[in-house]
A and B are shown apart, each in its own frame.
Chain A
Amino acid sequence: MKEAMKGDILPRRIITGVALTGMTIMIFILFFLVKESLPILREVTLLQILTGKEWYPTYDPPSFGMLPLIAGSVSVTMLSALLAIPLSLGLAIFLSEACPRLLREIFKPTLEILGFLPSVVLGFIGMMVLAPWLQEKLDLMTGLNLLNASILMGIMIVPIVASIAEDSLSSVPDDLRDASYAMGATRWETTTRVVFPAALPGILEACLLGVMRAVGETMVVLMAAGGSAVIPKSLFDAVRPLTSTIAAEMGETPVGSGHYHALFFAGLLLFLFTWAINLFAARIEARGRKWRE
């Protein structure tokens, strides 16, 4: 009897130890981002980085103003969310409320699979198909711009947002729908006044997670956004978000240089930004769960 109990302690310890890996990685990510980005603050002040409008990291003397990069990230994210979220929610409501059952069985997994579309493929479409088309139709200097990247980013996040929002909508109990129909409400009235409000926390979470993905997405903006580090004034200006700046410049940067540390600082900004969105979404989800119970 005692032998058996002894055999139980070791696996428990090992499993607990292994389970710590995830936490360790998370701590390491934070640690290395901070450690590698702090030296840049010895060269320039935090205010200069965050509000400086000149990103010329390889000039002599270099300037590390990240405002254009931040503006690039924010503009692509907001525009793509603006394009993608209405469509995603329409799709989610369709799948959960209006779709014939058989079609739903096919379309839901298809949507999930499309969520795995490699982003480099969408970036490629932006370069090869959308850019020339935009250039010709709108008579632009270049089709690689804010609009192009936002459209493709939107296409990328539609499956993600729609999938999570649909889960939330379809987990609303049928009793609520039945009660509403019994009162004589139409399907649209039932959806907008009963089902949608009941699923709201999950829908908000879906939107936030979509935005989080858009902020952190690299390949689409690297290939389709044009890459000039200026604050965009129109939809047709080229932008250079934080992610694509890191991806494009890290390869040619000497380890330990000011530029290197500045790119890590950009990474830290990205991380903190997406982390905040993620934690906010987690909080909404937890509240929604409590409220439903």
Chain B
Amino acid sequence: MKSRFLKDRLATAVLWSCMGAVLVILGGILVFLVVQGAGALSWEFITQPPRDSMTKGGILTPLIGTIQLVLVAMAFAFPVGVLTAVYLNEYASTDRFTGLLRLAVRSLAGVPSVVFGLFGLSLFVIFLKFGSSLLSAGLTLGCLALPVIVGASEAALKAVPQDYRDASYAMGATRWQTIRKVVLPAAFPAILTGGILSIGRVAGETAPIIFTGAAFFTPDIARSLFSQVMALPYHVLILATAGTNIEETRGIQYGTILVLLLVVLGITLTGVIWRARLRMRSSR
């Protein structure tokens, strides 16, 4: 009889230690990166382009490049993703077509990022002749973000009470009027948090942009959609594996990683906090 309770105690201890282990590993990695990278951070580091074959200077060019990539990706994926979710939640009936569409979105979510890279290379770079450019890389990242946005937006639309729609129909509004003036405004904050989270995903991706538009090095910030861009994650890869002087640029590498982490985790944290506040408000 007693051994049952002993077993329960033991199991609880094991469960606590699982959490402890994960905290120590992931927290350790984060603390390590912050400690190593903090020394390299300065105002100059953020506002200067790389100099002397990327052994000196800052990371302005890759930082701006990442922002540009995110903007292009979102300009494509956000409207398309939201409208796809509107279709799935507001218009779709349970027919074959909708089933296929859901299957496609789910499949898209599972495509490996490097395969998105191959797809971007063959469709945008070669077939559509966009070349290795901001546009090609941004659209490739957009395709990757699409299923994330669809998922988040659909959940947001589902959370809008059916009463809202019924009340609008009862006033004589058409379905589109109901969607535009009632459903979308009610769901929009939650849709936006989904968009923010997908930015976190896009900003940290490396594999899809390696052969669609990321530059090893460019001296200038891209001024057109058809120029190559540097990007923070790719910059980390280059400095760590193919830089001119890998040992000497350690400081820059850790600094770049810390900025990348701040950008990605900062954006994600914002999204998560905002979503939590929305949920609190709606449960009140």
Contact = CB atoms under 8 A, between A and B. Distances in A.
Given A11-B176, A18-B80, A113-B265, A247 B233 contact: no
B83 A99 contact: no
A216 B115 CA distance: 8
Contact of A93 (B15, B26, B116): B15
Interface in A112-126: 112-114, 116-125
B268 to A, nearest CB: 5
A33 interface: yes
A38 interface: no
A40 to B, nearest CB: 14
B8 to A, nearest CB: 4
Interface of A is mostly: helix
B175 A18 contact: no
A118 B206 contact: yes
A7 B174 CA distance: 8
Contacts of B33: 121, 125
Among A22, A26, A94, chain B packs the most CB atoms within 10 A around the CB of A22
B170 interface: no
Given A12-B175, A15-B87, A120-B206, A33 B16 contact: no
A172 interface: no
Interface in B3-18: 4-5, 7-8, 11-12, 14-16, 18
Interface stretch (A48-56, A59-67, A135-143, A184-192): A184-192
Interface residues of B, number: 87
Contacts of A27: 104
B15 A189 contact: no
Contact of A116 (B25, B119, B201): B201
Given A94-B16, A186-B4, A267 B114 contact: yes
Contacts of A111: 22
B176 A118 contact: no
Contacts of A188: 7-8, 11-12
B210 A247 contact: yes
Nearest to B265: A113
Interface string B198-211: 00110111110011
A247 B87 contact: no
Nearest to B36: A128
B19 A282 contact: no
Nearest to A93: B15
A8 B181 CA distance: 13
Given A116-B204, A120-B237, A94 B18 contact: yes
B32 interface: yes
B143 interface: yes
B126 interface: yes
B118 interface: yes
A23 B106 CA distance: 10
A212 B83 CA distance: 28
Interface string A18-51: 1111110111110011011000000000000000
Contacts of B91: 12, 15-16
Contacts of B18: 87, 90-91, 94
14 contacts: A11-B179, A19-B86, A25-B108, A25-B143, A26-B107, A35-B122, A87-B22, A90-B18, A116-B201, A120-B204, A128-B240, A162-B22, A251-B210, A278-B106
Given A116-B268, A120-B206, 16 more contacts: A7-B176, A11-B179, A16-B91, A22-B150, A25-B108, A25-B146, A36-B122, A118-B204, A118-B260, A120-B204, A121-B33, A121-B257, A186-B7, A215-B112, A216-B112, A219-B206
Interface of B: 4-5, 7-8, 11-12, 14-16, 18-19, 21-22, 25-26, 29, 32-33, 79-80, 83-84, 86-88, 91, 100-101, 103-119, 121-123, 126-127, 143, 146-147, 150, 172, 174-177, 179-180, 197, 200-201, 203-207, 210-211, 233-234, 236-237, 240-241, 253, 257, 260-261, 264-265, 268-269, 272, 276
> A-B pairs with the 5 shortest C-beta distances?
A216-B112, A118-B204, A90-B18, A19-B87, A278-B110
